[in-house]
Amino acid sequence: MTTLDPKPTDTPSDGGTVTPSRSTGTNATRVIGIAAAVAMAWLVLFALVISPADVNQGESVRLLYIHVPTIWVAYLSFVVTAVASGIYLFTKKHSLGWDRLAGASAEFGVAFVGLTLIVGSLWGRLTWGVFWQWDARLTTTALLFVAYIGYLAVRRLGGSHQQRAKRSAVVGLLSVLLIPLVHWSVVIWRSLHQTASIANTEGDIKMDGTMLFTLFVGVVAFSLLYVWLVMHRTRAMAMEDMLEDRGLDVALAERRAEGAGR
Amino acid sequence: MSTWRVGWLIARKDLRIEWRSRVITNQVLPFAFVTMVIFGIALDANTDVLELVAPGLVWLATMFSLLLLVQRAFSVEADDGALDAMRVAGVDARGIFLGKAIGLVVQLLVLEVLLLCAAMVLYGETIRLDGVVLLVTTMVSATCGLAAVGTLYGGLAAGSKGRETLLPLLTLPAVAPVLIGATRAVESALGTGVAELSEGWQWVSLLTVFAVVFGVGGALAFGPLIDE
Amino acid sequence: MSTWRVGWLIARKDLRIEWRSRVITNQVLPFAFVTMVIFGIALDANTDVLELVAPGLVWLATMFSLLLLVQRAFSVEADDGALDAMRVAGVDARGIFLGKAIGLVVQLLVLEVLLLCAAMVLYGETIRLDGVVLLVTTMVSATCGLAAVGTLYGGLAAGSKGRETLLPLLTLPAVAPVLIGATRAVESALGTGVAELSEGWQWVSLLTVFAVVFGVGGALAFGPLIDE
Amino acid sequence: MSAAAPSEPPAASAVASDGSGPVVELRDVVATLGNFPALSGTTMHVDQGEIVLLRGPNGAGKTTLLRLCAGLVPVVRGTATILGHDLTVDRERVRPHVGLLGHQNGLYADLTVGENVRFWGSTVGATTIEIESAMERMGVADRLESVPVSKLSAGQKRRTALAALVARRARLWLLDEPHAGLDQRARDELDEILTQASQSGATVLVASHELDRAESLATRTIDLIAGHAGSESDR
Amino acid sequence: MSAAAPSEPPAASAVASDGSGPVVELRDVVATLGNFPALSGTTMHVDQGEIVLLRGPNGAGKTTLLRLCAGLVPVVRGTATILGHDLTVDRERVRPHVGLLGHQNGLYADLTVGENVRFWGSTVGATTIEIESAMERMGVADRLESVPVSKLSAGQKRRTALAALVARRARLWLLDEPHAGLDQRARDELDEILTQASQSGATVLVASHELDRAESLATRTIDLIAGHAGSESDR
Ligand code: HEM
Ligand SMILES: Nc1ncnc2c1ncn2[C@@H]1O[C@H](COP(=O)(O)OP(=O)(O)OP(=O)(O)O)[C@@H](O)[C@H]1O
Ligand SMILES: Nc1ncnc2c1ncn2[C@@H]1O[C@H](COP(=O)(O)OP(=O)(O)OP(=O)(O)O)[C@@H](O)[C@H]1O
Ligand SMILES: [Mg+2]
Ligand SMILES: [Mg+2]
């Protein structure tokens, strides 16, 4: 981090303006971004037009194509957080890049779980007549949400970057253990939430081929979106950290000047 | 320096400290939220039971949050001997009580509104229009009562060692009447169970009496309590 | 200085401090007790429901008490910079983790036994003889898990401002599995509802895995966490 | 209730509120902390305008004596008269005129230096000018004014607490090891402030272990040994 | 891991663990608290057996420097080598040999003086005799030994912390305003302990505002200004 740029410390005036690149985009992200947009359009087409309405649920079943992909991508992002945290902790180098990946991934994971909660409760309103049920899966999902809000709170505790990285890596590695709990909560409890209706074809949503394919499109679309967002966010975080280091140069110059003034 | 002016100075300072540290939004609120979810787990996702006790749970979560808020409000004073400094400066004890209580009321009200919104979603509550007045009155009077009790015992426990644990011990039993009254009043306001609106107003008067008793009693007792 | 010896020194010191200040018997216990009574009130003294949810409530009260105990265990260290002093002295971090966790386990076990007795009186639970082994095993393994989580996150939050509120936010979701597992296991042991004894033992294995994961993970992570 | 309305330190005439009696008068005062008699029968008196140095080994009871005069520690036996009022009955009348700097600073960590000093100033009705000039004198005005107290060094905190104290313009100053932690400049400034205050009629009681500095500041020394006042020495 | 097995302070030969390099060697060290560069590029070195006085106005960074040497504040830029080990990589190797007395005492309020000193002594493997003699020297043995720390006066607490430190027999002593709060007898005793320690090969770094006393104790003075070491003066 200190090797960014051999800028002399005695020119504070241009601190913070010289950044290696002004945008967080690269060719790779552009391609992924376009792919994500295309997949989204495709998803809209399939979800709203091509796939059929459900026998039991009617048109509201179309919420499935957001509901399930978002939570799966959220799982994915928390797993990525855990893996990146692990790599950060267990490699000798303790590279902050992994820490930033973990942080960025968790931020979008929280956003996606939030989306699941919102869409799920709207759906619940349509099918169950209420926004919320004390159902095992819903409860555990809410817990997952809170646990990662806690993770983000730990990241904001302050201290040096390495300190932030260490603390949050531990929390990130342990919080991922909640995912199996969420996933198997339906088995653990006697629950009214949908049991695994995709893996085995029982349950009250009969998955026909189009529906399955639409779901697949949804998963692809949201995954691409996730990758695109995380790539941008990690770069932005790198720049934030870098700016902070620049800020340090300025502050150092000020501090030394204060001494000279005496 | 009049009691009111001292109260205003202190409340402003407290709210400013809270605003700086954002403890409510960043931590107390999520805590209250987790508490409610955890209740859901402990009650075994028994939906019928939950719906029945939802208003109770909101107030229970409020009370746990009250404990956190009071503890913080007084650890701010005790950490570096500020409470002693106030006593030496001869700051009017009633003013201190008033100021700390006002600070708590504001924070609690913010919290309750948010919790109530959460409860409406989580527990499937709906608000009747004619219940709104009752609801608001209940919240205000219950909150004043809670803040008065919290301030009184917070001041008593402040500075004594083991205050983290002395505070709940004193506060929880004392606010039990508020818990019951507010729960019933909210039930009437929301129309849960068989409760009537008029019944709710009876509970509100109980809450008001409670708030007045603890408010006046607290203001009078606060000086001797924190002194010596 | 071996990890175990450090752990023993620290646990002994913590228990001695607790013994001197009697915080458990004088304050945490009544607190947990009040909590249970308040649940009773919130649940409207519906005895059938109460008996059904009693195991959950016992663990819920335990968890809230855990928060108090952890907070105290670490404010003892942070108040006068003792944690810093340990770091400077190069005291083995795994030893610190071990010692604090052992101290918590002992305190929690005392608490749970008393809470269980309270539940038997308050909510009318009865213990089957053949469930006793299961009950004891559950309590021990659940407690180890709780203590490990509490120590880990207590250490993380220690010294940071707003730690009173960060601690519950981190701890409660993390111990939710313990709450669920222990509740189920105790239900089997007590024969509440339809639970079978054999089912209880499955839950115990889950609890044990949890305790081991957090115990080992905590011991390894504690050093980096409290350092810097 | 306001400490003193005029912007000057209280004039000599306003000080001796009951004729010209001593400002501090202790007769066989016993004070206990827990069960321990930290003051075991202290008799002493301090006249208006004096700067008295309290000396004594660790645990002699200096802090307890100062806190007693500030009304924070109750009088168990004997009589303590401060500014003409009996402490056991009229504590409320005494307090507005007493300023204490104890071992703790009484600052709010999340507020800035300026906000802290202004808060303490306004609780005793000091004017803005007085508050600003107090901060100026203790060297916490400019850059430090908007820094939260949690980010200060030990000495900077002490200076802030002193600024809040100076803004009070008390008639009786009680200072518990005021020099500890201050740098040379702040020490000199503090000594000057105390001398000025005493010249304009205030009375100062200082407990200190830094004898060289404190002895040159004080007009009289009282030795405290095991909770009672021993020998006195004028200078 | 044990600090030092023999009951005597470490002999000179045992100290310079890597040949005869300096005990403290800082090169352009930057350390931040929050975003503030409390140390703004400090270069200094201290040889074995020296007693170095750190001087500087409030907020100059003395405390930060001492905490950095103890491994409590991370090195952001530059290199810090303590007892031959690089602080950023080998902190664990350094710590058993470093003793720090900070602004806080690190005592447990509910334990007695004896229990506290024994606890800290046993964590570093000191023998009972060493622990007893440390308490003796700092004057907290007899009556005070069984008094809970919460009941001590400020100076008595400081003495207890010093006793716990003395029992460690560190090779590098870091003392942050050690004299503050001590009475005359304890000050003299402390100075003697430090002189003895340095004579038997330990190195001492003292931050202090009590220049008279500290300057006569120290063999060399380093001035810290706005986070970097300014002029040095031998004596
Ligand atoms: C706030 C309310 C809701 C939340 C928090 C929620 C949460 C979740 C979660 C976390 C999953 C992923 C399970 C896994 O694979 O691990 C899921 C899957 C699913 N949800 Fe929901 N859900 C909610 C409401 C609903 C509603 C109202 C319906 C429809 C009636 C529904 C239908 C489904 C279906 C069909 C699946 C896929 C099941 C599978 O194959 O695993 N959800 N939900
Ligand atoms: N968290 C923080 N954020 C920003 N600045 C800080 C923070 N903590 C301390 N500082 C600043 O760092 C500087 C160094 O403080 P330090 O405690 O090292 O000074 P010091 O030389 O020990 O002073 P003193 O003689 O008063 O004890 C101070 O100017 C202080 O204002
Ligand atoms: N709660 C208590 N119970 C019993 N004894 C106490 C208690 N608090 C303080 N003491 C004792 O009271 C005595 C007086 O303490 P005080 O703080 O007044 O001394 P001091 O002269 O200010 O000392 P120092 O110079 O160290 O600050 C001390 O000997 C102390 O041990
Ligand atoms: Mg004292
Ligand atoms: Mg300092």
pLDDT classification of D13: cutoffs 50, 70, 90: very low
CA B28 distance to own-chain centroid: 12
Q: Is residue A100 part of a domain?
A: yes
Question: Looking at residue B27, what is its pLDDT?
Answer: 67
How many Å apart are CA C63 and CA C194, to the nearest integer?
Answer: 25
Question: Looking at residue C212, what is its pLDDT?
Answer: 94
Query: A243-257, C37-51, D106-120, E170-184: which has the minimum mean pLDDT?
Result: C37-51
Question: Looking at residue D226, what is its pLDDT?
Answer: 81
E20 contacts chain C (CB < 8 A)? no
Run of H or E including E78: strand E77-82
Q: Which atom of ligand 1 is nearest to the CA of A144?
A: 10
CB atoms within 10 A of CB C4: 13
pLDDT classification of C159: cutoffs 50, 70, 90: low
Q: Which letter, b or e, does each residue of B18-49 get, where b requires 16 or more Cβ atoms within 10 Å of its Cβ?
A: beebebbebbbbbbbbbbbbbbbbbbbbbbeb
Q: Among all residues of chain A, which has the CA nearest to that of C157?
A: A154
Token couple for E152: 């001590």
Subunit partners of chain B (3 or more CB pairs within 8 A): A, C, D, E
Token couple for E134: 């440390």
C68 CB-side CA count, 13 A: 31
How many Å apart are CA E138 and CA E130, to the nearest integer?
Answer: 12
Which ligand is located closest to the Cα atom of residue A121?
1
Full strand arrangement of the beta sheet holding E77-82: E36-46, E24-33, E77-82, E85-86
Question: Looking at residue D231, what is its pLDDT?
Answer: 65
**Angle between helices A64-90 and A178-188 in degrees, nearest 10:** 140
Nearest neighbour of D59 by CB, restricted to E33, E58, E153:
E153
Radius of gyration of chain C (CA): 18
How many Å apart are CA A110 and CA A130, to the nearest integer?
Answer: 23
What is the domain count for chain A? 1
- The DSSP bridge partners found for residue E100 are E174
pLDDT classification of D10: cutoffs 50, 70, 90: very low
For residues B211-216, give the mean pLDDT.
Answer: 92
Subunit partners of chain D (3 or more CB pairs within 8 A): B, C, E
Q: Is residue A57 part of a domain?
A: yes
> Which residue from E61, E55, E78, E26 is spatially nearest to E226, judged by alpha carbons?
E61
How many Å apart are CA D204 and CA D197, to the nearest integer?
Answer: 8
Q: Please, what's the largest Cα pairwise distance for chain C? A: 56
Question: Looking at residue A104, what is its pLDDT?
Answer: 95
Query: A56-60, C80-84, E142-146: which has the minimum mean pLDDT?
Result: A56-60
Question: Looking at residue E53, what is its pLDDT?
Answer: 92
How many Å apart are CA A21 and CA E183, to the nearest integer?
Answer: 61
Please give, rounded to a whole number of angstroms, the shortest distance from the CA of A138 to a CA of chain B: 10
Question: Looking at residue C109, what is its pLDDT?
Answer: 93
E34 close to ligand 2 (CB < 6 Angstrom): yes
CA of E149 to the centre of ligand 4 (A): 14
Q: Is residue A17 part of a domain?
A: no
Count of helix runs (H) and strand runs (E) in chain D: 8, 10
More confident position, D10 or E221:
E221
Question: Looking at residue A56, what is its pLDDT?
Answer: 67
Domain ranges of chain B: 3-226
pTM: 0.86
Residues B82, D107: contact at Cβ < 8 Å?
Answer: yes
How many Å apart are CA A126 and CA A121, to the nearest integer?
Answer: 9
More confident position, A66 or A28:
A66
Residues of E in contact with D32 (CB under 8 A): none
Full strand arrangement of the beta sheet holding D85-86: D36-46, D24-33, D77-82, D85-86
Residues B134, B189: contact at Cβ < 8 Å?
Answer: yes
Phi, psi of E42 (to 5 degrees): -95, 130
Q: Is residue A115 part of a domain?
A: yes
Q: What is the pLDDT along chain E (235 residues), one digit of tens a residue?
A: 333 333 444 444 344 444 467 889 999 899 988 788 899 889 998 998 899 999 989 989 999 999 999 988 888 889 999 988 888 888 888 888 899 998 899 999 889 999 999 999 988 888 889 899 888 888 888 888 889 998 899 899 999 999 999 888 888 999 999 988 898 888 998 999 999 989 988 999 999 998 888 888 888 999 988 878 776 666 5
**Candidates 3.20.20.10, 3.40.50.300, 3.40.190.100, 3.20.20.70; correct CATH number of E21-234?**
3.40.50.300
CB within 8 Å: E155 and D58? yes
Residues of C in contact with B39 (CB under 8 A): 60
Q: Give me the interface pTM, i.e. the ipTM.
A: 0.84
Residues B55, B101: contact at Cβ < 8 Å?
Answer: no
Domain ranges of chain D: 21-234
Which of B59-63, B105-109, D228-232 is most confident? Answer: B105-109
Please give, rounded to a whole number of angstroms, the shortest distance from the CA of A146 to a CA of chain B: 7
